[in-house]
Amino acid sequence: MTPPHTYRNRLILYVVLLEVFLIGVLFFFYSQSRDAILDVANRNLGLFVSQLNAKIKLEEHELEQSARLISNNVQLREYMFVVVSIGTETAPLKDLFQRQFGWLRFNSAAIISKQGKVLIGGDDKKLLAAVNKYRTADKPGGEVFYYTTENSIEMATVMPVFYQNEFLGNVVLTHTMDASLIETARSVGFGQFFVVSNGKILRSSLEGGLIGQSFKEKYGQLQLGGDNYLVSKVTYFSDKNLPEVWFGFSNPELTGQLDLIRSQMLALALGASIVILIIGIAMIRNFSRPVSRLVSRMHQVGEGKFPEIETVQTRDEFGYLINQFQDMVIRLKEKQDEVDQVQSLLEEQATTDSLTGLYNRRYLYDLYPKLLSDAKRQGNSITVILADLDKFKQVNDKYGHIVGDHVLTHVSEIMRNCCRVSDFVFRIGGEEFLVLTTGGLNGGEILAEKIRNKIEQSPLKAGDLILSVTSSFGVAQLESTDASLSDILARADKALYAAKDSGRNQVSVINI
């Protein structure tokens, strides 16, 4: 019978539940991650744009400091004085500017005299046009303004130059904002810049630029080139004459991150599932196998078998249980052996005569049905030989019961020796004996005669006493009309009395 696997099934269930839980948790986090990414992207966008505003302010300050450094340089003021006031060539001034300030961070520079003559940087017409309104000695300088060119938004600052309290002109520096912003976007690694004018994209950091495409933002989102964008305006450029600058993330950029996370989650789930599965299988095997073995052994013990159980070396609970069970089985087997021995003894005592060792009357009645059944199956006949010692009472009276017992033992021994292994010899009364044999009536008569003769020829020798003993025999055969053992016994008894009546020490046979 296969033992029930309740605990193993439970373990399997636990493993499955664990797997389901794990996958459920991962699925939950995955489903939440999209919202989280969008939320983080939104916050990062705002943060980045505010940092960008701060960066632009810093660049304004840096540009102003550079212009101030140049305008305060004593040598430059001297040279500018020579050029402006004395009217010499500008080459020394250009050389000096290049030599002294070439390392400064700006896009283009100009030095304009108080008369409006461009001393340095005359190529940049847009710059000169934008600077004209700032060209004055009255302003302290350092004011930053913006102007646009075809390709960029330019940050510019103007700083007056004085020599011995005389206003000589202005130093103008510019810094290209688009390039700076695009460079910033690229350094961040993702996100795009859009320069927008009148709802159209002028420039962007995207490849191809999407130049000329419509830029219609709604609630911080818009559709561009088939992709959805999360955008925020760089508010630093407040001048309405300037283009707007926007910074944003595209959905592919964000979902790219999400896909990456999804792949990582999937890999994690797969790895964790495999690990849990392996651990589960190992647990089930480690738990189920010893339990199954134990249950199987228990079944064997229940069936009365005492299987050999090898000692388990592991020190876990199962090892302890199996070893305890093994001890229990060994002790049980020992007890069973003792019980069997006692039972065997009791059975022997219940079926034999304690004096002679022959079967007793009780066993006769137990055995007869079986013999009858076997005989009928095999087509044999059963013959009963009933024997009674002659004048045994006189022996007892004359020589005592001890000698009488010796006589009985002596006769029993003779009868046992004369019979075949297949014959059954009983002591059914004080001096009455019975032999059941499967031979026919003739065989029974011959056996009876053989016993009678042997008894007669074998006197009992007890010390100095030599005592001759004889016995009478009645022989009867099982008949088909016999309803029970009593029927055949009655006939054998009748034959015995006939032998007694005929003078004893004879064999009498009844033939029906």
Partner 1 sequence: MTTSFTARAQLLLFILFNLLCTIVYADDKAINKDNKPAIIGAGAHFAWVIFNDLKPALQQSSGRTVELFGKESMLGMGCNAGIKMAQQNQPGKESFGFVCCPLSDKEVHEKDIQVHPIAKEPILILVNKQNKVQNLSQQQVSDIFSGKITNWAEVEGEDKPVVVVTRLHCKHRPGHWKTILPDAKSFRKDRLNVKSAAEMVKRVTDFPGAIGHTGATWVFGSDSNVKSVSVSGFSPTAGNLRAGRYPFYRVLSAVTNKQASADVMAIIDRVQTGPEFSRVAKEYELVPIRQ
Residues that bind partner 1 in the complex, under the rule CB under 8 A: 78-79, 81-82, 85-89, 92, 95-96
Query: What's the closest the beta carbon of residue 78 comes to partner 1, in angstroms?
Result: 5
> What sign has the CA pseudo-torsion 292, 293, 295, 299?
positive
Contact 512, 494 (CB under 8 A): no
Select 22 or 96, whichever has its Cβ closest to partner 1: 96
Q: b/e for 162-199, b at 16 or more Cβ within 10 A?
A: ebeeeebbbbbbbbbbbebbbebbeeeeebbbbbbeee
Query: What's the closest the beta carbon of residue 79 comes to partner 1, in angstroms?
Result: 7
Burial class (CB in 10 A: 0-12, 13-18, 19+), 507: buried
Query: What's the closest the beta carbon of residue 108 comes to partner 1, in angstroms?
Result: 24
Query: What's the closest the beta carbon of residue 193 comes to partner 1, in angstroms?
Result: 44
Tokens 């009780």, residue located: 362
Select 53 or 85, whichever has its Cβ closest to partner 1: 85
Select 85 or 351, whichever has its Cβ closest to partner 1: 85
Query: What's the closest the beta carbon of residue 87 comes to partner 1, in angstroms?
Result: 5
Helix (H) or strand (E) holding 157: strand 153-163
Backbone angles phi and psi of 404, in degrees to 5: -60, -40
Query: What's the closest the beta carbon of residue 169 comes to partner 1, in angstroms?
Result: 16
β-strands 432-437, 424-427: how paired?
Answer: antiparallel
Select 97 or 359, whichever has its Cβ closest to partner 1: 97
Select 82 or 261, whichever has its Cβ closest to partner 1: 82
Report how far apart, in Å, the C-alpha atoms of 392 and of each of 400, 471, 496 are. Answer: 11, 9, 15
504 phi-psi bin (left φ>0, alpha ψ -120 to 50, beta other): left
Query: What's the closest the beta carbon of residue 137 comes to partner 1, in angstroms?
Result: 18
Secondary structure (DSSP) of 93-145: HHHHHHHHHTTS--SEEEEEETTS-EEE-TT-HHHHHHHGGG--SSS-S--EE
Select 91 or 512, whichever has its Cβ closest to partner 1: 91
Select 88 or 373, whichever has its Cβ closest to partner 1: 88
Query: What's the closest the beta carbon of residue 114 comes to partner 1, in angstroms?
Result: 14
Question: How many other CB atoms are found less than 10 A from the CB of residue 221?
Answer: 12
Residues 6 or more apart whose CB falls under 8 angstroms from that of 404 comprise 392, 395, 396
Select 97 or 194, whichever has its Cβ closest to partner 1: 97
Sheet of 118-120, strand order: 118-120, 108-113, 166-176, 153-163, 144-148
Select 85 or 255, whichever has its Cβ closest to partner 1: 85
Q: b/e for 489-505, b at 16 or more Cβ within 10 A?
A: bebbbebbebbbeeeeb
Contact 159, 112 (CB under 8 A): no
Select 76 or 322, whichever has its Cβ closest to partner 1: 76
Tokens 């010390």, residue located: 463
Query: What's the closest the beta carbon of residue 103 comes to partner 1, in angstroms?
Result: 20
Tokens 């009992």, residue located: 460
Query: What's the closest the beta carbon of residue 96 comes to partner 1, in angstroms?
Result: 7
Contact 18, 261 (CB under 8 A): no
Secondary structure (DSSP) of 437-467: ESS-HHHHHHHHHHHHHHHHH--EEETTEEE
Query: What's the closest the beta carbon of residue 95 comes to partner 1, in angstroms?
Result: 7
Select 79 or 249, whichever has its Cβ closest to partner 1: 79
